[in-house]
Chains A and B, each alone.
Chain A
Amino acid sequence: MSVTVQLLASPLRGLVDNRPELELPFMTGETVAALLERLFRAYPTFRPETMDEAGELLYEYQIWHEGEMVRGEGFRRILKDGDTLAFLLPIAGGSCTSSCTGWYSGGPRMKVILRNQGKEIEVTGRRRVRELLTELGVLPETVLVIRGRELLTIDEVVRENDVIELRPVISGGRA
């Protein structure tokens, strides 16, 4: 029963004896924001390092939760037992592990085939299907999300080097 906080940013590891990650006890119903508060209480030097005076995450840092970048409403997301929260420093000095490979624009990309538009696009960074569809403005009800020979649910994580087909399911003419 724990939540892992990965420190993929070397300045943050320096605050905790160079440990790459921290384990915090899991608390039922806790949000991302509440967990951060708990982290800051346990490690008081974290707050000034990562937050500005208004309590906003400093622009050079990112927090990722289970493959999705935490933004806005994302801080209210409820954590589950075993979840991982990652601090990233993607601009400089970050120490990427496999979980964030491809974040850099030059890295490997994911190919998304939009079957109905006869279009292929490439995106970087792992994310959930739900997030990918939102970014592309596609309603989940209108497509099958296909990777190879499998169908993906909206909570699956898609990543670099994946080839994803968004196959429309709407058919029919005027008859």
Chain B
Amino acid sequence: MKCKKCGGRAVLELRRHNTAFCAEDFLGFFRRHTLETIRRWKMLTRDEPVLVAVSGGKDSLALWDVLLTEGYNTAGLYLDLGIFDYSRASKAKCLDFAVERDARLIIVSVQDAVGAAVPRVRDATRRPTCSACGLSKRYLLNRAALENGFPVVATGHNLDDEAATLLGSTLRWDESSLARQTPVLEATHPKLVRRVKPLFRLSERETAAYAFLRGIDYIVEECPFSRGATSITHKEILNRLEDASPGSKAAFFLGYLDRARHLFHARESVTLLECVRCGQATTGEVCAFCKLSDQVRRAVGLPGEATDQPTDPAALRGLISDLTAASEIHAP
């Protein structure tokens, strides 16, 4: 197969675009596509700092790489979920990435913020692990952005993620999810930052290829709690459709944004208040995160508040040597 642009040897075929690219032209395609998404959906401006939520996986590191390459003012935010070796390995990938590029990485520990690491939350609260983890991530991301002066958070969600979420919501006819799913979540409250997904038009295979071709050392292993997840089944089903008729995933999700979302969105109206405990935006009196954290702290017998750990590139270098020496890390 030949690169449609330069005629050189292709390394990746993009069936839904009926094209193929060599390494260099694919990287160019990926960056242009991302920038075009950012521009068309008014996701970021050049003069505001953006906090990139990084997990150590291919999507978030590819996104951070594009934004750094294109000169955006960014910092990474790594949430340490405390999921055994998976978290240790993924944190190491993020630290290496940040140090190599002299970028700022902020690390927030779920253990410190919630009172226990993710694996212990289910026992403490009876809430499913992934649900508690997702809730904590959304909350802590937003809070870290506010506390560190970032008006916007960018996440690495790709087309496959978005299409699988949409399929899940559609199968349940979950109207409030169908009203809310969007690549740009505007800041509708002073305590909420804007959330954007600049990779939402690129497939998972494309972000993986970008990370590989850029030599990004990302964590290939999956979170141990994700095994057998319904969202992965949905992805597999969508990939079968994609195989039978390329472009299905994009048609499904982009068509929803273009022609279906407004039908649900119009009916959804939510009044946001401030949590009486932490001051973050919520629909109730006490936010879901504070309730979760209370439950966990009671269960593990912990009072007290936690602190985030902002870290500059110089401090990160020290962290890396700690990481190789000790199994547990604490930022200076």
Q: Known: A151-B213, A153-B10, A172-B164. Contact between A139 and B204, CB under 8 A?
A: no
Contacts of B15 in A (CB 8 A): 140-141
Q: Does B11 contact A (CB under 8 A)?
A: yes
Instruction: For the complex formed, measure the closest distance between the CB of B240 and the CB atoms of chain A, giving whole angstroms.
Output: 7
Within 8 A of B (CB), among A106-123: 115
Least CB separation from B242: chain A residue: A141
Q: Say whether B205 contacts A142, CB under 8 Å.
A: yes
Q: Say whether B239 contacts A174, CB under 8 Å.
A: no
Q: Say whether B131 contacts A175, CB under 8 Å.
A: yes
Report Cα–Cα, A41/B242, bound state, in Å. Answer: 43
Within 8 A of B (CB), among A152-173: 152-156, 167-173
Q: Which of B222-230, B285-293, B310-318 binds A?
A: B222-230
Sorting the interface of chain A by its residue count into under 10, 10 to 19, 20 to 34 or 35 or more gives 20 to 34
Q: Does B183 contact A (CB under 8 A)?
A: no
Q: Does A150 contact B (CB under 8 A)?
A: yes
Report Cα–Cα, A174/B11, bound state, in Å. Answer: 32
User: How many residues does chain B have at the interface if contact means C-beta atoms less than 8 Å apart?
Assistant: 43
Q: Does B161 contact A (CB under 8 A)?
A: yes
Q: Say whether B222 contacts A151, CB under 8 Å.
A: no
A70-96 interface mask toward B, CB cutoff 8 Å, 1 = contact, 0 = none?
Answer: 000000000000000000000000000
Q: Known: A139-B240, A141-B243. Contact between A155 and B1, CB under 8 A?
A: yes
- Judged by DSSP, the binding face of B is helix
Q: Known: A170-B204, A171-B57. Contact between A151 and B212, CB under 8 A?
A: yes
Least CB separation from A155: chain B residue: B1
Contacts of B130 in A (CB 8 A): 173-175
Least CB separation from B1: chain A residue: A153
Instruction: For the complex formed, measure the closest distance between the CB of B60 and the CB atoms of chain A, giving whole angstroms.
Output: 10
Contacts of A140 in B (CB 8 A): 15, 243
Q: Does A146 contact B (CB under 8 A)?
A: yes
Contacts of B231 in A (CB 8 A): 172-174
Report Cα–Cα, A154/B236, bound state, in Å. Answer: 19
- Judged by DSSP, the binding face of A is loop
Q: Does A1 contact B (CB under 8 A)?
A: no
Q: Say whether A173 contacts B13, CB under 8 Å.
A: no
Q: Say whether B11 contacts A173, CB under 8 Å.
A: no
Q: Known: A142-B205, A153-B1. Contact between A170 and B10, CB under 8 A?
A: no
Report Cα–Cα, A62/B155, bound state, in Å. Answer: 52
Q: Say whether A174 contacts B128, CB under 8 Å.
A: yes
* Residue of B133, B164, B212 with most partner-chain A CB within 10 A: B212
Q: Known: A167-B220, A171-B57. Contact between A152 and B243, CB under 8 A?
A: no
Least CB separation from A168: chain B residue: B220
* Residue of A154, A156, A167, A174 with most partner-chain B CB within 10 A: A174
Report Cα–Cα, A62/B87, bound state, in Å. Answer: 52
Contacts of B203 in A (CB 8 A): 141
Q: Say whether A172 contacts B213, CB under 8 Å.
A: no
Q: Say whether A174 contacts B13, CB under 8 Å.
A: no
* Residue of A144, A153, A175 with most partner-chain B CB within 10 A: A175
B166-198 interface mask toward A, CB cutoff 8 Å, 1 = contact, 0 = none?
Answer: 000000000000000000000000000000000
* Residue of A144, A156, A168, A171 with most partner-chain B CB within 10 A: A171
Q: Say whether A174 contacts B137, CB under 8 Å.
A: no
Report Cα–Cα, A151/B131, bound state, in Å. Answer: 36
Instruction: For the complex formed, measure the closest distance between the CB of A117 and the CB atoms of chain B, giving whole angstroms.
Output: 12
Report Cα–Cα, A138/B24, bound state, in Å. Answer: 27
Question: Which one, A139, A152, A167, A173, contacts B226 given CB within 8 A?
Answer: A173
Q: Say whether A150 contacts B222, CB under 8 Å.
A: no
A-B contact pairs, 27 of them (CB 8 A): A139-B240, A139-B243, A142-B236, A142-B239, A144-B212, A146-B212, A152-B11, A153-B1, A153-B11, A153-B13, A154-B1, A155-B1, A156-B1, A167-B212, A167-B220, A168-B220, A169-B208, A170-B232, A170-B235, A170-B236, A171-B222, A172-B164, A172-B229, A172-B231, A173-B229, A174-B128, A175-B131
Q: What are the 7 tightest A-B residue pairs by CB atom distance, in nearest-first order?
A: A175-B134, A174-B130, A173-B226, A169-B208, A151-B11, A153-B1, A174-B229
Excluding A156-B1, A169-B208, A173-B130, 4 further A-B contacts by CB distance (< 8 Å) are A146-B212, A154-B1, A168-B220, A170-B236
User: Which residues from chain A sit less than 8 Å from chain B, CB to CB?
Assistant: 115, 139-144, 146, 150-156, 167-175
